[in-house]
Amino acid sequence: MGNDVVVKIDHVTKLYKLYKSDKARFKGLFSKRVPYKENRAINNVSFEVKRGESVALFGRNGAGKSTILKIITGVTFPTEGKVEVDGTVSALLELGAGFDPESTGRENIRFKCSLMGMSDDEIAAVEDDIVAFADIGDYIDQPLRSYSSGMKARLGFAINANSQPDILIVDEALSVGDKNFQKKCKDKIAEMMANDNITLLFVTHSLLTAKDFCKRGIVLERGKLMFDGEIDEAIAYYDSK
């Protein structure tokens, strides 16, 4: 990759095998004879993102947006092609995922931050900010099994947004909580994007929100890249379909 390129998607294809039942899926692990349908969630997609860029991904449900983000974050892997990522990635995808239900919110903060590669000193430096941002009161020292789904999502956003990433990936995370917390989330992302070294990849169905945060737009349709350009042009292209 070039010195300024932090994400490179190079002719990436992602295939999923769709079986008729869980039983057939299990048999398919051991035999190629079990019938299945093939779904190309991503079909030969290529693009690069440079350091400091803010890029919105547009597409109808099933276009491949979330699959692209999961490939970039390493949640899943391409069937074909290459993916290169340079920098620490913080992904606001499934905000409540990856927590230990028996550990407290504070313990989960330290655990998730350590998984991101942060040192004990780095975690200590941001822990109070995360607790304050999540704003879940005394529950921060209670086990996660006592949390509502909304509280888990608030904690997840607080951890990811305050972990000082190089690359921030957001997938509809701004629908978390009430309107006041949604505004708090948007303000936090805007604050982070004031740093020219942070790169943003953003998926949302709100064209106005995308325009607020992003200068470039990529439009996907049925797994194929259909448009890549300036945000207003990308919105116009997407809106015309």
pLDDT tens digit string along 165-180? 888 888 765 555 567 7
Dihedral angle, C-alpha 206, 212, 217, 221, nearest 10 °: 0
The reported pLDDT for the residue numbered 143 is: 96
DSSP letter (8 states) at residue 92: E
Radius of gyration of the chain (CA): 19
Average pLDDT over residues 40-53: 94
The more confidently predicted of residues 94 and 34 is: 34
The CATH classification of domain 5-29+37-240, taken from the options 3.40.50.2300, 3.40.718.10, 3.10.20.30, 3.40.50.300: 3.40.50.300
- Cα of first residue to Cα of last residue in the chain, in angstroms, is 33
- 70, 75, 77: which is closest to 15 by C-alpha? 77
Residue 184: pLDDT band (50, 70, 90) is: confident
Average pLDDT over residues 186-205: 82
CA distances from 97 to 112, 121, 184 (A): 11, 25, 21
The more confidently predicted of residues 11 and 115 is: 11
| Domain edges within the chain | 5-29+37-240
Residue 78: pLDDT band (50, 70, 90) is: very high
Using DSSP, state whether 194 is helix, strand or coil: coil
Say how far apart CA 67 and CA 82 lie, in whole Å: 14
Q: What angle do CA 73, 18, 58 make, to 5 degrees?
A: 45
Which segments of 51-108 are extended strands (E)?
54-58, 80-85, 89-92
pLDDT at 99 over 70: yes
DSSP assignment of 19-50: -SSHHHHHHHTT-TTS--EEEEEEEEEEEEEE
The more confidently predicted of residues 161 and 19 is: 19
DSSP assignment of 98-147: T--TTSBHHHHHHHHHHHTT--HHHHHHHHHHHHHHH--GGGGGSBGGGS
The reported pLDDT for the residue numbered 62 is: 87
pTM given for the model: 0.80
